C-alpha cells in the first residue's frame, strides 16, 4: 500500500466538475484508491463518496492506493489535486 498526504490546490476546491474529473483520473488505475479527510475514508472512484467529503482549497487529505499500479495511482491523484493536471 502506498500513502501520501496531499494539500488540495485546485482553485475552486472540489465541487462537482473537479470531483468528476478526479474520479476519472482514479478510475484509470487498477489499484483500489481511497481519499481520507478527517475521520472519513471514501473510494476515489465513487462520485457520491467524493462529493460527501466536501473538500476545499487548502485542505489536506491522505491518498492511499493498493494494487499493481499503486505508486502511479497516488502520483496521478497528487498531480490532479495539486492543480498540475486539470
- Residue ranges of the chain with per-residue pLDDT less than 50: 86
Q: What is the pLDDT of residue 36?
A: 97
**DSSP alpha helix (H) spans, the chain:** 16-27, 47-53, 70-81
- Fold classified for 2-81: 3.30.1340
Residue 65 CA to residue 72 CA, distance in Å, equals: 9
In this structure, are residues 6 and 76 in contact, taking their beta carbons and an 8 Å threshold? no
pTM of the predicted model as reported, rounded to 2 decimal places: 0.92
Nearest to 76 by CA among 35, 17, 15: 35
**pLDDT attached to residue 16:** 87
pLDDT at position 85 is: 61
Amino acid at each position: 500500500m502506498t500513502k501520501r498526504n496531499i494539500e488540495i490546490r485546485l482553485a475552486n476546491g472540489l465541487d462537482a466538475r473537479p470531483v468528476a474529473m478526479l474520479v476519472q483520473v482514479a478510475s484509470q488505475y487498477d489499484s483500489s484508491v481511497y481519499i481520507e479527510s478527517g475521520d472519513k475514508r471514501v473510494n476515489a472512484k465513487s462520485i457520491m463518496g467524493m462529493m460527501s467529503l466536501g473538500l476545499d482549497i487548502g485542505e489536506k487529505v491522505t491518498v492511499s492506493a493498493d494494487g499493481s499500479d499503486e505508486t502511479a495511482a497516488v502520483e496521478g491523484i497528487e498531480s490532479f489535486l495539486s492543480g498540475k493536471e486539470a
